[in-house]
Structure 1
Amino acid sequence: MRLTAFASTLALAASLAVAPPAYAQPAAAQVPPIRTDVPSQLPRTSRPIHYTLRITPDAEHLTFAGNERVDLAVLEATDSLTLNAIDMEFGAVTLTGADGAALHPASTTQDEENQTVTFHFDRQLAPGRYQLTIDYHGKIYTQAAGFFALDYEADGAHKRALFTQFEASDARRLFPGWDEPQFRTPYDLSVVVPRDEQAIGNMPTATRTPQADGTDLVTFQTTPAMSSYLLFLGTGEFDRITTRAGNTEIGVVSRRGAGEQGRWALESAARILPYYNDYFGTPFPLPKLDNVAGPGSSQFFGAMENWGAIFTFENVLLNDPAITSEGRRQDIFVVAAHEMAHQWFGDLVTMAWWNDIWLNEGFASWMETKSTAAIHPEWEPLLGRIDGREGAMGLDSLRTTHPIVQDIRTPDQMSQAFDAITYNKGEAVITMLEDYVGEAGWRDGVRAYIRAHRLGNTVTDDLWHAIEGASHREISAIAHDFTLQPGVPMIEVTATQCTAGSTRVTLRQSQFSRDNREGQPLRWRVPVIASAGGAEARTVVENGEGTLTVPGCGPLVVNYGQTGYYRTLYAAPALAQLTRNFATLRPVDQIGLLADNWALGLAGYQNASLALDMANAAAPDANNRVWERIAGMLDSIHGMYDGDEAHQAMVARLASGKLTPLLQRVGWSVRADESPTDAILRTDLIGTLGDLGDRAVVEEANRRFAANDASVREGPLRTTILAIVAANADAATWDRLHQMARAETNPLVKQQLYRLLGAARDPALAQRALDLALTDEPGATNSSALISAVSGEHPDMAFDFALAHREQVEGLVDASSRSRYLAGLGGRSHDPAMIEKLRQYAEQHMTPQSRGSVDRAIASIQDRIRVRQERLPDITRWLDAHAAG
């Protein structure tokens, strides 16, 4: 339907007049230049200076009307203006020059493929200042991209809330503009809402004005100059709870009635913000910082750092006692810490182009760990950091990897850049460089970087220069090695010799690869730390070789403290000594050694069973995270034997023998005095043993479910128990779970129950879950997650189903995820036939720029097949020998 026309531009300007912001904006005479050292998909003939936007949603019909005024500068003579826009219909368009003369486009061209609109004028536009006003209409989507709706039930009524998600390239779905990060401008935003609804933006509300039709016009204060992808708008029936930290009002916004479930997130943010204000040396510059909870989910993201208005799906923000475990409670804190770090690294200072997105994500990932370690050391987050490093190395050791700093040109490439290389390798490299520079020098460099580039855009070298200037340590060469080339270095300990109380170590640098052992290894300058029971020693391995004298003659640990981003391959005598003395090592090095030796074994650099020898040497009272690593290794081996029931049973018996005593120690019930790590270990042990089919654990889970035990109705074990029940479900049990999902009114619990329906091992029940996903019942944002859940046990079935219903399934996935969603389903397979299916899918439905996800999925399948064929026999021999012994 067509909506009534907007008021005139002058009336709009009057209605949006607000008090000047408290922070400094660029002077009116200044026109920020366009950087020519970064890519742009738009002509460099013009740039925006200030946006004024008014949005009128029609939530029922999933459309909106927009009116936009852009103050802009024409930098070179041109007869056209090209802006980013997609899925829009345009009405009146007027360009007004400094002389007051108004021009209307002679024609308008929309390019859906390149997501642009071009307004052509019948004469040249001279360089100078102009105002462009546009009336237009756009779509409200049902998946989390652009301006989108999230539906839920409350008090028996259907509710709809509206939110925005713009990273990386979806602001163009709300307003036509220069949707690239270097085009920072202030924004004046207003929205028309029903009188009983609230509106949330980046800034506090300036005015709320009743309208004649019973709606209200909500106008927000002017934002700082910022990139388009950081603009935020949310409307709906909300609760907002608040507190203060320094000069900042902190809020958590949730659907009405769920406000108190945001209390833990609010309290967490109030502790994180002062830490960041101090660490960055620049206080948070906005008057308020909200975290906005949205029901539903996305296959692309869980939270987004919109400046002053973080958006987070409520399943990773709200602390619901019905389902929140200790692990989830910690995740709430960590996700908030990540998004709040972006308020400086990403928002106050923004990368100039998506090539350097790691400056946002890698740094925020590193900062989330650093702040958590400072505020909650009892959670031992530094031990968990190794999990992120391993996730990065898993991708980085395949041919299909990419450097941290990428070459990105298209929207599809932008969305695919958000992976473990960007986040976790970025974090690992920063961890290594901070350790090399020193904590104080690194912090001083970060502070200098923030001061120098406040309200500006940067490239990666800007950070290195700031660190070097503040710390007086040269790091650019090392940093370039790790950020501008892909891959994982490997440090080989080729010889050790103890003389006069010290260990002389000979090192060689090569490259760790899972599928390219024959290739010429790259070269890195690798900072190395080692210990042999005494003081640590340091060196930088350059040109492929190095030596090191380490005090002490005890077991030699290279990458001592696990701050380096590299694999360590030990000569046999050194590895044997480490295994014998494994129980005496620090937990962080135990975890790192287990991870290294497991990966090295699966890649064929050594016998795959050597990691099992090391796991066997773990003491019963080893750190809980060490046991979580061992449990994960055993679960992985069990999965490798899919189809070999005899050896799966061997692995299950081995796991039960090692893990059941630990479960008996922590028990099934929460203890009042237990540590947070015990609470997480309990969940991990029950989940792992249940996944391995441990009879006692599966029977106990089923007993509690059948009895409707209190632990199944709510509490920290609810999800874990139901996951075991769902995986082992028969038709009657699946029907009961389905009925629970249909009857559930809590959106958080409902979403979780529908995902569990996809976890059944029974293929017939998995098919029922897939069929259910294509109905309206699960909800618009839950269906894609249900299909993904099926792919956990049945990747080939899920992929074939999704491909057969491709258009319908892609409609269930947000636009930013479509180029990788189906690849993610098939990528979990170990069937060689899936490789050809994925290739055909890419050839028929993907562009060369968007098929990176398919290439990575194929590489993962090939590696999985290779491991089963070539490395699993090592483990089989080990299992057989231990069973016989």
Structure 2
Amino acid sequence: MAKGFYISKNMGLAGLLMGAVAVVIIIALAAVYDKEKTKNQNKPVDGVAMLTTASPTTSSTLSTPKDPWEHYRLPDSLSPVSYNITLWPRLVVNASTGLYIFTGQSAVVFQCKKDTDLIVIHCNKLNLTLLNGHHARLTGLDGATAPTVKTSWLQVKTEYLVIQLNGKLTAGKSYRLSTDFQGELADDLKGFYRSEYTEDGGKKVVATSQMQATFARKAFPCFDEPAMKAVFHITLIHQRGTVALSNGRDVETVNSTIDGTEVTMTRFEPTKRMSTYLLAFIVSDFDHITGSIENNNVRIWARRKAIAEGHGNYALNVTGPMLNFFERYYNASYPLSKSDQIALPDFNAGAMENWGLITYRETALLYDPAISSVGNKERVLTVVAHELAHMWFGNLVTLRWWNDLWLNEGFASYVEYLGADYAEPTWNIKEQTILNDVHKVFAVDALASSHPLSRKEEEVNQPDEISEMFNTISYSKGAAVLRMLSEFLTEPVFARGLSSYLNEFAFNNTVYSDLWDHLQKVRMSLPHTVHDIMNRWILQMGFPVVTIDTATGHITQKHFLLDPDSVVDRPSPYNYTWLVPIKWMKGGVEREQHWLLQETGISNANRHPPMTTAGSEWVLANLNVSGYYRVNYDMDNWERLLNQLTTDHTVIPLINRAQIVDDAFNLERDSVPWESVLILYITRYLSQERDYIPWESALRNLNYYILMFDRGQAYGVLQVVSRSTALSLLSLLSLRYNQINAISFACRMGVERCRVLTSDWFREWMLNPDHNPIHPNLKTTVYCNAIAAGGVAEWDFAWQMFKNATVATEAAKLRSSLACTKVPWLLNRYLDYSLDPAKIRKQDCTSTINYIAGNVVGMPLAWDFIRARYGGGSFSFSNLINGVTRRFSTEFELKQLKQFKEDNARVGFGSGTLALEQAIERTTANIKWVAENQEPVMKWLANECT
């Protein structure tokens, strides 16, 4: 299951049938893995829902802004020092407006850096109370005289409160700006918002927050940029009987009466100097469990029933060890006095690293061993590790601007594996980064519409452009590139440089080059500076394919593109060449690291041993996939590697066995001279493979074949090949695989026995809804296949169980499985449900539509649904367009995509603009691939039938 080390321990594949049987197994396994891995592959995503394919677009403003309030970046004339904020969320509907509201007061102390008669501060969707006829009150501090307010207004487009003064503020002087305001406590999952859930038969309301990236301005007027750090003094007024949480410890809680309403006032200790996007305010009646780490409280918060049933225990158990690990790794103490983590019923992101008060989806923090699968447990482990890593890298030291988001998220996405491995050392979880980051992001970064990790500041200004930065490139490529840096520096050297960086810039902001400076100070011997090497990996998009000719020792590199005929419009400062570290082995023996310092080179240059071979000797490069690139060889070396795999695959390191499979499939797609069916022969060694990672690599790549063929005649031939052996394999697999794999295999191949088995289990549950006989690790596969084989009765039962589910992971499994039905009208009904928050939570709308699109029957329905309802920003469009177009491989579908783009050009696509461009690019590549490969694949399958 998801990222499951547990699966690898149960594989036991020795002795399986060869040839077609191996192919059948691979394709069959994809069914269950896709369901669980898709949920877990979205990584621990902070702040905003990660856009899996989108890349930022340059602002399309037609005219150059002239006045400061027309720019999306704040002027540099003012700098905040501290805020004093009081917020009062109402957890009942306002009688006069019919809305949930909050009221507040904010006083920000700022220092004037340059003389100015203008105050520009972020403010979005807040109703400001007029103070002396204006939107704010200005006071001079420490003897400074404040000019009077001339006029003030709200600049809606750029989300500012603009205050024009009758005189000038004086550089070096400090002032206080006070505002009173009211906002809607909406259910939009942004800023200060509300979450609702049902417990003990009644509806309950939570006031919670999500500030990243540009939503703090929806909660109070503020200088809402990451470099505008300040100290925050927070007070929350809340309903009696509820508990208030914020970034700091509560230092005073008193009961009071305001305007006849009995309330509690909770005041919190001042925060450390921090960015607005890391603030958190929560009011709820949640309960918690407590642990400690060196006099700091560690608390897990959730719905009372979830805490009472122990669903927070696992997260609490791993938090302490991981905090201890990160303190040693960073060589810096945990910088706060407490660590709260809270599971929310409604939360758009996977999790958010608010300093001292981390927020999560329930599925990312809560684990019920009686109901949840081992994949769910692993999800909790890695998400918690990711967020705790941010407490130092991201929170203590913060990016200066969002163009360097990768530095925050890529780093956390890398070291999460280190923290998780420390907490669960027997899981071998560090190996998962190859599947979950390196191979995953290759698929996006091989597009001509990709983007560099670090972009120019002026290219990332508007909120939509900032949101686009939260994508696979920032997270997974960032992790892969930083892992490569750590590998060639060595982990101890990398950690020393990191500690130096964190200690120098604590409570401040940086750019990526600051990290290079500190790593350079502690570097080992390198052919170039850290700057020279790493800038090539972060300032230009894409990655190379390194080709090694073992006959001559000649090495070349080339920008790898999914479609070699695509046009790369983005200029590169390095002409798409990289300084490539090559760890390698010859004939099973590791050799000295080699550097490819230009477009071509000879491997035996200088002191390096040659990458030439003799006889049966083979060369394997990118040992343990330590570098961010693909590797190709001359055909003789490929054949020697394949021979080694089929004779004794254990000689080749585990991660490299997955690399060989992944590179081979994708080099074929890049039109490297392969015959497509050779890829299928390469997978034959898997009949001897016992480990999970090579299998998963093959599954993901062969799933591409399924997506391209499952609507055409090739898929029918594929099923004919596999069905003849399915019954016997079901018995064999039940002994050597875990049950998930056996059942998934047989069901995917249409074996009647499997349909009966899963349907019987599901029907047994239907007869006794209070007792679910299905093992937690089997639920996703059984639910999906039983619903697919059934009709209205099965779907309606599953829907009722979904509505009744009190454990989020169980609800998630049912929600995904409801999309498995083959009945079109049920799928259409489910699509309609996805837009009704009373049926499907807003946080789950996009993934529900994508689950339906993952069904071959549901794909055209979902595509029609999106086109009919698109209105610009109605959905998380980047994720939707990626999910719905995965199968697109015909000229008709390409035409539809282009027409959709044209029809909605006036409305625009916001943060999903380049996601649409990438969908068009992928569809074009798919069309070409199917045209070139369908016939040879069918011939190979036909031969296997004889």
TM-score (norm 2): 0.82
Q: How does 1:180-329 map to 2 (within 5 A)?
A: 180-212=225-257, 213-259=261-307, 260-298=310-348, 301-329=349-377
Cα deviation digits, residues 112-157 of structure 1 (max 9, x gap): 2212121222222222100110001112231322112121111111
Contact 2:118 2:165 (8 Å CA) reproduced: yes
Residue 71 in structure 1 maps to residue 132 in structure 2? no
Contact 1:652 1:693 (8 Å CA) reproduced: no
Contact 1:66 1:137 (8 Å CA) reproduced: yes
Q: How does 1:494-533 map to 2 (within 5 A)?
A: 494-496=549-551, 505-517=553-565, 522-532=576-586, 533=588
Contact 2:555 2:602 (8 Å CA) reproduced: yes
Residue 62 in structure 1 maps to residue 100 in structure 2? yes
Cα deviation digits, residues 15-54 of structure 1 (max 9, x gap): xxxxxxxxxxxxxxxxxxxxxxxx9711111111101111
Distance (whole Å) between structure 2 residues aligned to residue 725 and residue 667 of structure 1: 23
* CA apart distance, 1:84: 1.2
C-alpha spacing 1:729/1:111, structure 2 compared with 1 (3 Å): farther
Cα deviation digits, residues 724-757 of structure 1 (max 9, x gap): 2234442222122222223434455345433432
Distance (whole Å) between structure 1 residues aligned to residue 110 and residue 727 of structure 2: 65
Residue 642 in structure 1 maps to residue 642 in structure 2? no
Contact 1:373 1:380 (8 Å CA) reproduced: yes
Q: How does 1:859-874 map to 2 (within 5 A)?
A: 859-874=921-936
Identify the match of residue 937 of structure 2 among 867, 870, 875. 875
* CA apart distance, 1:790: 1.7
* CA apart distance, 1:635: 3.3
C-alpha spacing 1:795/1:124, structure 2 compared with 1 (3 Å): farther
Alignment partner, residue 624 of structure 1: 692
Alignment partner, residue 565 of structure 1: 628
* CA apart distance, 1:656: 9.0
Q: How does 1:440-519 map to 2 (within 5 A)?
A: 440-473=492-525, 474-496=529-551, 505-517=553-565
Q: Secondary structure at the match of 1:143?
A: coil
Cα deviation digits, residues 767-795 of structure 1 (max 9, x gap): 11112223333344344432232222233
C-alpha spacing 1:255/1:434, structure 2 compared with 1 (3 Å): same
Distance (whole Å) between structure 2 residues aligned to residue 652 and residue 114 of structure 1: 60
Residue identity opposite 2:104 in structure 1: G
Residue identity opposite 1:881 in structure 2: N
Alignment partner, residue 397 of structure 1: 446
* CA apart distance, 1:820: 5.6
* CA apart distance, 1:179: 0.6
Distance (whole Å) between structure 1 residues aligned to residue 664 and residue 750 of structure 2: 27
Alignment partner, residue 754 of structure 1: 815
Moved more, 121-130 or 568-577: 121-130
Distance (whole Å) between structure 2 residues aligned to residue 105 and residue 601 of structure 1: 67
* CA apart distance, 1:659: 12
Q: Secondary structure at the match of 1:224?
A: coil
Residue identity opposite 2:491 in structure 1: E
Contact 1:323 1:719 (8 Å CA) reproduced: no
Alignment partner, residue 9 of structure 2: none
Distance (whole Å) between structure 1 residues aligned to residue 846 and residue 521 of structure 2: 48
Identify the match of residue 706 of structure 1 among 757, 763, 766. 763
Contact 1:251 1:266 (8 Å CA) reproduced: yes
Residue identity opposite 2:925 in structure 1: D
* CA apart distance, 1:826: 4.5
* CA apart distance, 1:825: 3.8
Cα deviation digits, residues 261-303 of structure 1 (max 9, x gap): 01101111111111100000001110111111011352xx201
Q: Secondary structure at the match of 1:717?
A: helix
Residue identity opposite 2:269 in structure 1: Q
Distance (whole Å) between structure 2 residues aligned to residue 620 and residue 415 of structure 1: 45
Contact 2:481 2:628 (8 Å CA) reproduced: yes
Q: Secondary structure at the match of 1:737?
A: helix
Cα deviation digits, residues 622-662 of structure 1 (max 9, x gap): 21222233333343322221222553452575499599859
Contact 1:838 1:858 (8 Å CA) reproduced: no
Distance (whole Å) between structure 2 residues aligned to residue 373 and residue 655 of structure 1: 40
Contact 1:492 1:568 (8 Å CA) reproduced: yes
Q: Secondary structure at the match of 2:124?
A: coil
C-alpha spacing 1:543/1:774, structure 2 compared with 1 (3 Å): closer
What is the Cα-based RMSD across aligned positions, in Å? 2.6
Residue 836 in structure 1 maps to residue 904 in structure 2? no
Contact 1:54 1:68 (8 Å CA) reproduced: yes
Residue identity opposite 1:594 in structure 2: V
Moved more, 451-460 or 516-525: 516-525
TM-score (norm 1): 0.88
Residue 722 in structure 1 maps to residue 776 in structure 2? no
Distance (whole Å) between structure 2 residues aligned to residue 270 and residue 80 of structure 1: 48
C-alpha spacing 1:190/1:663, structure 2 compared with 1 (3 Å): farther
Distance (whole Å) between structure 1 residues aligned to residue 847 and residue 202 of structure 2: 24
Structure 2 unpaired stretches of 5+:
1-70, 93-98, 569-574, 604-608
Distance (whole Å) between structure 2 residues aligned to residue 656 and residue 528 of structure 1: 45
Q: Secondary structure at the match of 1:307?
A: coil
Q: Secondary structure at the match of 2:87?
A: strand
Which structure carries more relative contact order (alpha carbon 8 Å, separation 6+)? 2
Contact 1:45 1:75 (8 Å CA) reproduced: yes
Residue identity opposite 2:623 in structure 1: Y
Contact 1:628 1:684 (8 Å CA) reproduced: no
Identify the match of residue 658 of structure 2 among 588, 591, 610. 591
Q: Secondary structure at the match of 2:149?
A: coil
Residue 432 in structure 1 maps to residue 484 in structure 2? yes
Residue identity opposite 2:446 in structure 1: S
Contact 2:144 2:175 (8 Å CA) reproduced: no
Q: How does 1:99-138 map to 2 (within 5 A)?
A: 99=143, 105-127=149-171, 128-138=173-183
Contact 2:721 2:945 (8 Å CA) reproduced: no
Contact 2:717 2:941 (8 Å CA) reproduced: no
Q: Secondary structure at the match of 1:219?
A: strand
Q: How does 1:39-54 map to 2 (within 5 A)?
A: 41-54=73-86
C-alpha spacing 1:660/1:252, structure 2 compared with 1 (3 Å): farther
Alignment partner, residue 5 of structure 2: none
Q: How does 1:815-854 map to 2 (within 5 A)?
A: 817=876, 821=880, 824-826=883-885, 829-830=888-889, 831-840=893-902, 842-846=904-908, 851-854=913-916
Aligned length: 821
C-alpha spacing 1:729/1:229, structure 2 compared with 1 (3 Å): farther
Distance (whole Å) between structure 1 residues aligned to residue 450 and residue 724 of structure 2: 37
Distance (whole Å) between structure 1 residues aligned to residue 816 and residue 318 of structure 2: 28
Q: How does 1:663-742 map to 2 (within 5 A)?
A: 664=732, 682-683=739-740, 686-687=743-744, 690-708=747-765, 712=773, 715-742=776-803
C-alpha spacing 1:649/1:727, structure 2 compared with 1 (3 Å): farther
* CA apart distance, 1:870: 2.2
Residue identity opposite 2:870 in structure 1: R
Q: How does 1:363-402 map to 2 (within 5 A)?
A: 363-387=411-435, 388-402=437-451
C-alpha spacing 1:683/1:312, structure 2 compared with 1 (3 Å): farther
Distance (whole Å) between structure 1 residues aligned to residue 546 and residue 808 of structure 2: 49
**Percent identity over the alignment?**
25
Contact 2:722 2:749 (8 Å CA) reproduced: no
Contact 2:122 2:221 (8 Å CA) reproduced: yes
Moved more, 777-786 or 87-96: 777-786
Cα deviation digits, residues 34-90 of structure 1 (max 9, x gap): xxxxx9711111111101111111233322111001001122222221111111111
Contact 2:398 2:509 (8 Å CA) reproduced: yes
Residue 857 in structure 1 maps to residue 912 in structure 2? no
Distance (whole Å) between structure 1 residues aligned to residue 326 and residue 125 of structure 2: 39
Cα deviation digits, residues 145-172 of structure 1 (max 9, x gap): 2112121111111111121111111111
